[in-house]
Structure 1
């Protein structure tokens, strides 16, 4: 659903070095320093007495300026290993956090728990977070939740993720990279192999991405701020950084990624095409459908279908297209789109669509089905009357 105009902020994450919880927090706090007090307060609130102090400090990574986030443990800090999912949820929900922080932090943990449950074939309530059981990892989850809550309504995208390679040592022994939980969580995300081995995306970083990111490439943006967060690992050939590119959308609307699905048929009757269009339009995930008549091979007339589809519904819609029509091939690609905020109201019993445009201009469009005049001229008169501000 489109967000209100004041929520038209987009954050694109450039994962050149990788993605981890501490890198995400550091990058966003570098880009948006106004969030630092809130996030650090939430981070302190979830820690028990004597666990240590969260920090945000400047530094460099291969000569690139950056910020680092983490925990300075106190002497004799209490241990926090192999925590149950339910135990960590209780810690978060009982802490005095800013509004919205707990729900986002628990949602991130739930992404992790579901992945671990699937991998180890145990109920989610029995999941042990062996690899994120330390206090600094809990700190990352809560700080990321605080950032997500502070930026409620923003949209997020991420670049293709660095694949890494080799093995990573865990409490389960040596595991392949990406770690099983990371690979499970990030199904459907784009990856790239830059030839640099090691763990480049951590399970916590993966869970944050899954919770926030609904798009791949960013839409058209007006760049507002850039922040750089560094990880603890040194990469010999490149900076180990995550960049957060914060932008305002170019118009008061909601940017999103959609899939454009198209195909042609040249052996269906007009009635069959009409029935197929009605059934495809009614599918969940189909945002729009249009057709046009074209000329194909041997100069035969053919009908060209063009559907706008939510990316998560693509597979189901593809199957329906192959079932409801005679086509034997489909094409698709992703596009960005920006939808202005639309609101419904009524005037003189006629529904109308109200749209806010850039520059503060508001326009109205009467609902055609409600224009009941006996002639075209009368219906046009009613529309003009209804569409006046």
Structure 2
């Protein structure tokens, strides 16, 4: 499945959740159940209700406090102070499914890192203001449930309206987009449609960042569903909506050379670091979370100097963290990066005769490759190792026992 987000009015947490639940009404009960499981206070309710405005039909998402009607306050009306560590602890102790917990915490972590960078604080110590009430907590938990429910869906997003003017926050009057929001939106394509005001909220920006969408790319696939999520503001001459378009990519995938995904590619050269120290640094980069591959090659640079050209693949959302690790572990003072699409063949790791073997599904039939570390110490030299390898690979192709599905190879 592929989901394209069309940010006509903008992106906020409640708009994202409303649009997705309008497109996938079968997820409504699960999302509301997840929000309750996260600790929604007694007497509070969450609603995904039908809504009509500007000649369009869709949904609105509300969090309703006790003894009140529909809750229409502006997301910056309340200024509670809740630390990221406390929100994380609350989610970890909740009855949420493990995958939903991890996604919700990841979105909050992105917010904490952005706020920390803007205000010069450790992310662990960041106190949320605008996202501290149950409106935004429910938005993030509900979004995490929907994203998890869609499994391996890929995402794309239209150019984002940045808005203009000023917004009132717990830190005073700030420009639009707010500093933390602007940091989260680095790398996204934007547009100026001439309509002022806050168009992307911090929660909406964090959800987009967590999705790592392929920007404006649309797949060659069948459109199967669409959903419209309404925001709370009325925009002059423009519906304040976020539209979700859902595509079935299974049929297209049958004709593709493999599963398509997106990775970040980082490249740089080093000419003033000893080979021993560079090797140690690259080993540490290989061990970084979300790094998929690290390679180096010898090249000639300026003045005929021999240099090491380093090439790194990592998951797109981790590119900034991995880039920081590159600066920490090598002597490079600059690097290049870009997002790239890739095709991956399905593969799995199996065990055969105590040897780990990677089995890959290829168009012409499956192939197998034994893990050299598992046969390195076989007595008898090269011929004995080759015999063990051939036997393990043959057994794996016939009836190997899966030990762990491989999805992270470059």
CA apart distance, 1:37: 0.8
Counterpart in the other structure of 2:313: 309
- 1:257–1:337 contact (8 Å) kept in structure 2: yes
Counterpart in the other structure of 2:81: 84
CA displacement 1:306-365 (0-9 Å, x = unmatched): 835334435665898985xxxx99876432113234333455676532013579x53323
Cα distance 1:367–1:163, how it changes in 2: closer, same or farther (>3 A)?
same
Give the SS at the match of 2:136: helix
- 1:162–1:191 contact (8 Å) kept in structure 2: no
Q: Which has the larger radius of gyration?
A: 1
Matched, 1:256 2:255: no
CA apart distance, 1:14: 3.5
Q: Distance in 1 between matches of 2:282 and 2:88?
A: 41
Counterpart in the other structure of 1:27: 19
Cα distance 1:91–1:55, how it changes in 2: closer, same or farther (>3 A)?
farther
Counterpart in the other structure of 2:165: 166
Q: Distance in 2 between matches of 1:213 and 1:332?
A: 19
Q: Distance in 1 between matches of 2:116 and 2:278?
A: 41
Matched, 1:214 2:212: yes
CA apart distance, 1:283: 6.5
Q: Which has the higher contact order (CA 8 A, sep 6+)?
A: 1
Matched, 1:203 2:202: yes
TM-score by length of 1: 0.69
CA apart distance, 1:202: 0.4
TM-score by length of 2: 0.66
Q: Please give the residue correspondences for 1:286-325 in structure 2 after superposition, counting only pairs within 5 Å.
A: 287=293, 289=295, 307-310=311-314, 311-312=319-320, 313-314=322-323
Counterpart in the other structure of 1:338: 343
Q: Distance in 2 between matches of 1:219 and 1:366?
A: 38
Counterpart in the other structure of 1:18: 10
In the alignment of these two chains, the number of paired residues is: 365
Q: Distance in 2 between matches of 1:322 and 1:278?
A: 12
Matched, 1:51 2:36: no
Give the SS at the match of 2:164: coil
Q: Please give the residue correspondences for 1:107-118 in structure 2 after superposition, counting only pairs within 5 Å.
A: 107-118=106-117
CA apart distance, 1:38: 0.7
Q: Please give the residue correspondences for 1:119-138 in structure 2 after superposition, counting only pairs within 5 Å.
A: 119-120=118-119, 128-138=127-137
Q: Distance in 2 between matches of 1:232 and 1:122?
A: 31
CA apart distance, 1:140: 1.5
Give the SS at the match of 1:257: strand
Cα distance 1:60–1:51, how it changes in 2: closer, same or farther (>3 A)?
same
Cα distance 1:116–1:331, how it changes in 2: closer, same or farther (>3 A)?
closer
CA apart distance, 1:238: 3.7
Cα distance 1:195–1:41, how it changes in 2: closer, same or farther (>3 A)?
same
Q: Distance in 1 between matches of 2:125 and 2:312?
A: 41
Q: Distance in 2 between matches of 1:358 and 1:183?
A: 44
Cα distance 1:14–1:278, how it changes in 2: closer, same or farther (>3 A)?
farther
CA displacement 1:34-62 (0-9 Å, x = unmatched): 2111112233554334435523324345x
Q: Distance in 1 between matches of 2:336 and 2:144?
A: 38
User: Unpaired runs of 5+ in structure 1?
Assistant: 1-8, 266-271, 295-299
CA apart distance, 1:69: 1.4
CA apart distance, 1:205: 1.1
CA apart distance, 1:190: 1.8
CA apart distance, 1:236: 2.9
CA displacement 1:1-22 (0-9 Å, x = unmatched): xxxxxxxx55443434321000
Q: Please give the residue correspondences for 1:254-293 in structure 2 after superposition, counting only pairs within 5 Å.
A: 255-259=261-265, 261=267, 282=283, 284=285, 285=291, 287=293, 289=295
CA apart distance, 1:165: 1.4
CA apart distance, 1:229: 1.9
- Report the RMSD for the aligned CA atoms in angstroms: 4.9
CA apart distance, 1:200: 1.3
Counterpart in the other structure of 2:190: 192
Q: Distance in 1 between matches of 2:308 and 2:94?
A: 57
Q: Distance in 2 between matches of 1:335 and 1:182?
A: 25
Give the SS at the match of 2:62: strand
CA apart distance, 1:32: 2.2
Cα distance 1:107–1:318, how it changes in 2: closer, same or farther (>3 A)?
closer
User: Unpaired runs of 5+ in structure 2?
Assistant: 286-290, 398-410
